[in-house]
Amino acid sequence: MKVRTSVTLPKELLMKVDALTGKNRRRSEIVECALQDYMAKENHKKLNTRDIEIINEHADLINKQVEETLEFQAEW
């Protein structure tokens, strides 16, 4: 279900949006697509931040395991 809303945009940005519209596209479609892309990127950033936090929480253990693994490698 779609809901009508009002958004205030800078004139220059609206002119760029209008340049993308055509016979088959309306402003609302372009804005909707842009917002969906933005939300996906923000969600991706949030997940990446959480992943980094998890890695950092376990960094000492991970580094120890890597060092132990490297000890088993043959020297050339």
Per residue in 15-74, pLDDT (tens digit) is 999 998 988 889 999 999 999 999 999 999 999 999 999 999 999 999 999 999 988 887
Domain that holds residue 58: 26-76
Instruction: Report yes or no on 70 lying in a domain.
Output: yes
Q: How far is CA 27 from CA 41, 48, 71, in A?
A: 21, 32, 61
pTM value is: 0.67
How many domains does the chain fold into? 1
Instruction: Report yes or no on 65 lying in a domain.
Output: yes
